Structure 1
C-alpha cells in the first residue's frame, strides 16, 4: 500500500468523525513541543512571584497568560481534528501559529513585570489570525459546513481586533482587567455560536481529541517533573539542606506520578460524543492544564523555601503545591472520573480535594500530600476493578 502524495494546496474537506487509526501527527506533536516554551515561560514568573510573597499579582498574571496559551492550543487542536489535510499550505500555516506562540512566550516577562501586553498580544493575534485563514479554506472546500467555518472566521477576527484595541487602555487603568474578562468570554462564545450554524457542527474525532488532550497533559506535568529534578540537583549542590530537598524531590515525583495516573486511569473519548458535553469537557481542561503546570511552580517555591531563598512561611509554600493539586484533582474527577463512578467511590475525589487543602496545616505537608495521593489512586484503582464501568 503506497502513501498518498502530499500536494501544495489540497481541498480542505471535513474528515470523518469515526475514521479508523486517527492519531496525532508529527506536526501536531511538534506544535505541542513548541508550546512547552510558552508554558514554561508562564510558570516561571508564577514561581518567583509566590516565593517573593506577591501571590495575588503572580496568580493574576499566570491565569491570564495561560488562558492565551491554552485557548490558542485548543482551537488548533479541534480544528485539526476536523480538517487536517497535511498539505504544504496547512503545514506552513501551522508553523506560523507556532511562531506566534514563541512571540507570545517572549512577551510573558513584560506582561508579568511591567503589565506590558504588547508583545504577548501580538503573538496571540498571529496565532489566531493564522487559524482564521484555515477556517476560510475550510469554508471554501466544505460546502455543508460553510456557515460554521465562516462564523469561526468572522468571530475570531472580530475578537482579535478587540484584543488589539485593548492595547490602547493604559496599563494602570482599572478597566484593563474587566476588558480582559469580557474578551475572554467572547473568545469562549465564538465556538458556541459557530457550532450552532445551520450546517451543523464540525466533525471532530473523539479518540483523536482525547489523545491530543492527554499529550498536552503530559507536557504540562513535565513542568513538575523538571522542578522535582531541580530539587534533586539542589540537594547535591547544597549539603546543609540535603535531606529536606531529597524528601521534597521524592514527594514531588510521587505527586506527579499520581496526577498522571488519575488523568489516564479511564478513557474519555465516549464522554465527548455530543456538542454540549464536548464544549464543557474541552473548556474544563483549562483548569487541569493550568493547575498541572502550577504544580511545577509550587515545587520550585518549596525548593526556594527549603534553601532559605523564599520570603514566605512554610504554610504559604505548602499551599503553593496543595492548591494546584486540589484544583487538578477536582476537575479531573469532574470531567473524567465522575461519569464512571458509582456508590461510595463517587465521594473519594471530593474528600481527597478537601484533605489536600488541609495538608499545609500539618508538619511535612508535601510528604503527607504525596501519601494522600497514593492512597487516593490505590482506593480508586481497587474499587474500579470491582465495579463495572457504567459508560462502557
Structure 2
C-alpha cells in the first residue's frame, strides 16, 4: 500500500536569492534570447514571426523546467543535470540561425533531450519522487511526442508538430490538477514490487521564483540594449538624428524596465507578488518575455531606419503591437494588484490609442519622434500613483 504523499513547503524565514549555479545556468538564456531575437530582426514576414513564437516558447519551456527544479531543490540541486541541460539549451540556441534547414532536427533533438532530463531529475536514488503540483509540465512529457514525430516530417509541417506539442503543454498547465497528478503517480507506483517510498509534493518558493523570472526579463531587456548599440555601431554617419533616436530607444527600454521590474513582479508589468499563482504567472511571463524579445529586434530596425527618415511599415506595426499588448497586460495586472480602475484606464488608453495612431499614420514621423511617442504610450502608468484600497 502506498503512503499518503507529504508536502514540502517553501522556507519563509530567510529571503533566498539565486545561487551561483542558477546564475551560471542563466547564461545560456543570454545566448538563446540573442539568437531568437534575430529571427525577426529585419524581417516583416508573418511566417518568421510564427516560427519565432514556436521557437521562443520551446526554449523558454526547456529553460523553465530547470528553473523550477532549482527553485524546489534549493541548495540540493544536482550540478550535473543542470549543466547537461545547459548543453541542450546551447544546442537549441545555436540551431536557430538555420532553423529552416537541417539544424531544425538538432533543435528538436536538443529540446527532447532537455525535457526527458527534466522529467528524470525529480527521482532520487532511493526511488522517491517529488511532484511539482504548481507546474506539472516540468514532469509530464506528453508534449514531446509531436516533436519526436517531426524528425520524419518536412517543413512547414514540422513546425506545426512543434506547435502542437507546445499546445499540449499549455493544456496540461491548466487542465492537470495536483490531485490528479498525485493519483496517477500513486497508482503507477502501487504496481511496483517491494517497498514504495511515498512521493513528496513540492511547492514553488514564490519570492525566489519572482527573482528568477525577473532575471530572465533583465536578460531580454539586455538584448534590446545590445541590438540598439549594434545598430548604432553599424550606421556609417553619426548625426543628431541618430543620437536622438538611440537616446529615445534606450529611454524606451528603461521605461519597460520600470514597468516590468521596478513596479512589477517577475517581469510582469505592475503585478504584485502573490496575486497570481504559478499556473497563471508562468504563461504570462512567457508572453511578456516573448514580446520584449521580439520588441528588441524591432527596436534595432528602428535605429537603422534613421537614414531613411521613417520607420518601415512592418517594423512600425511590430513595435506598436508589442507596446499595445504590453499596455493591456500591465493594466490588467495592475488592476488585479489593486491599483484601481482609474489607474488602469490611464495606463490602458494611451497604451492603445498612441500605438494605433502611430501604426496607421506614423510613416511620416522621424524615427526619434516615433520612439518618443512609444515612450508616452508605454510609460503612462508610471506617471500616476496607484490608488489605495479602502476597507
- Output aligned runs, 1:1-392, within 5 Å: 14=8, 16-50=10-44, 55-86=45-76, 90-111=78-99, 113-114=100-101, 117-137=104-124, 140-141=127-128, 155-156=140-141, 158-173=142-157, 176-192=158-174, 193=176, 195-196=178-179, 197-198=181-182, 202-235=202-235, 238-239=236-237, 242-268=239-265, 273=274, 277-307=277-307, 314-336=312-334, 338-354=336-352, 355-360=354-359, 361-362=361-362, 363-364=364-365, 366-372=367-373, 374-375=375-376, 380-384=381-385, 387-388=387-388
- Equivalent residues of 2:245, 2:371 under 8 A apart: no
What is the Cα deviation at residue 29 of structure 1?
1.2
Q: For 2:280 and 2:75, how far apart are their aligned partners in 1?
A: 27
Q: Deviations over 1:92-119 (max 9, x none)?
A: 10011111011001211221x4385201
- Measured in 1, the distance between the counterparts of 2:216 and 2:56 equals 13
Separation in structure 2 between the aligned mates of residue 37 and residue 127 of structure 1, nearest angstrom: 16
Shift of 1:201: 5.7
Local SS of the residue matching 1:49: coil
* Separation in structure 1 between the aligned mates of residue 20 and residue 294 of structure 2, nearest angstrom: 27
Question: Structure 1 pair 378/221, CA: closer, same or farther in 2 (3 Å)?
Answer: closer
Q: CA RMSD in A?
A: 3.3
Which digits, 9 at most, give the CA deviation of each residue in 1:144-178, with x for residues without a partner?
Answer: x55969x767622x4324311122122244xx454
Greater helix fraction, Structure 1 or Structure 2: 1
Deviation at 1:127, TM superposition (A): 1.7
Structure 1 residue 371, shift from structure 2 partner: 3.5
Q: Aligned pair in 2 of structure 1 residues 61, 91: CA closer, same or farther (>3 Å)?
A: same
What CA distance in whole angstroms lies between the structure 2 residues aligned with 1:181 and 1:34? Answer: 23
* Separation of aligned partners in 2, 1:25 and 1:348: 39
**TM-score w.r.t. structure 1 length?**
0.80
Cα distance 1:268–1:370, how it changes in 2: closer, same or farther (>3 A)?
Answer: same
CA drift of 1:25 comes to: 1.0
Q: Deviations over 1:205-225 (max 9, x none)?
A: 111111111111110011111
Aligned residues: 360
Cα deviation, residue 373, structure 1: 5.2
Instruction: Please list every run of at least 4 consecutive aligned residues from structure 1 whose deviation after the TM superposition is greater than 6 angstroms.
Output: none
Shift of 1:376: 5.6
Q: Deviations over 1:221-271 (max 9, x none)?
A: 111111221233245xx22x6333222211110110000001124354895
Contact kept, 8 Å, 1:220 with 1:289, in 2: the verdict is: yes
1:209–1:377 CA distance, 2 compared to 1 (3 A): same
**Contact 1:14–1:83 (Cα < 8 Å) also in 2:** no
1-structure distance, mates of 2:148, 2:223 = 31
Task: Give the equivalent residue in structure 1 for 2:191.
Answer: none
Q: Which whole-Å CA distance do the structure 2 matches of 1:140 and 1:316 have between them?
A: 54
Distance 1:195 1:382, change over 3 A: same
Query: CA separation in 2, counterparts of 1:56 and 1:132?
Result: 34
Normalising by structure 2, what TM-score?
A: 0.80
Unmatched 5+ stretches in structure 1: 1-12
- The runs of 5 or more residues in structure 2 that have no matched partner are 1-6, 183-198
8 A contact 1:234–1:245 mirrored in 2: no
Q: Secondary structure at the match of 2:67?
A: helix
Seen in structure 2, the aligned counterparts of structure 1 residues 374 and 160 have a Cα distance that, compared at 3 Å, is: closer
- Report the 3-state secondary structure (helix = DSSP H, G, I; strand = E; otherwise coil) of the residue aligned with 1:155: coil
Query: Which has the larger displacement, 70-79 or 99-108?
Result: 70-79
